[in-house]
A and B are shown apart, each in its own frame.
Chain A
Amino acid sequence: DQQVKQNSPSLSVQEGRISILNCDYTNSMFDYFLWYKKYPAEGPTFLISISSIKDKNEDGRFTVFLNKSAKHLSLHIVPSQPGDSAVYFCAASASLSGGGADGLTFGKGTHLIIQP
């Protein structure tokens, strides 16, 4: 039972255009969502996050949108650059009753390829 789904295994975008990566989740207990970027043989690198009380968060070229009713989030990268080529993981967590957050549940990832 996949609680976090990234339905596009790969996405090809031209340099300078917008990249939109999508993610769907099923667990209504998730209240914090994160995007990570990963290169082969390296650990995931944190990009941006959003809590369930917001619907948008921006950080430079990266914007994350959250639609709670649809249980959907997306990551927008504008403009896309060659260095953005990597695998992007969507992740979600739920708050623990005693404080803090549970471990992250990850999607399978989307391989973003930025073409010159």
Chain B
Amino acid sequence: GAVVSQHPSRVICKSGTSVKIECRSLDFQATTMFWYRQFPKQSLMLMATSNEGSKATYEQGVEKDKFLINHASLTLSTLTVTSAHPEDSSFYICSARVVSGGARTGELFFGEGSRLTVL
């Protein structure tokens, strides 16, 4: 099936630094990707919708200047956590929908997730 790859899978950084997480659709094009955040023992909460070639749409309560999203191509979206603090420690997971994959069009696939720990 279609594959969405996230990198890095784990990252530990110092407070105040920025961290970039990549989400790639490996064998299909994705004009839209979704970024979720999951705190321990909680559900996935939508942070933002990433649209190729345009600005991301952020959910209420998510700081767009802190969580920078760039969707520069049909296969890559990046999430940058700027000036990270310990409260940003979480599991970040992206998903992408197949937009031009024949029989797979419309299917949604998730990346493996990225676990961020801010010291």
Determine if chain A interacts with chain B.
no
Residues of A within 8 A of B (CB): none
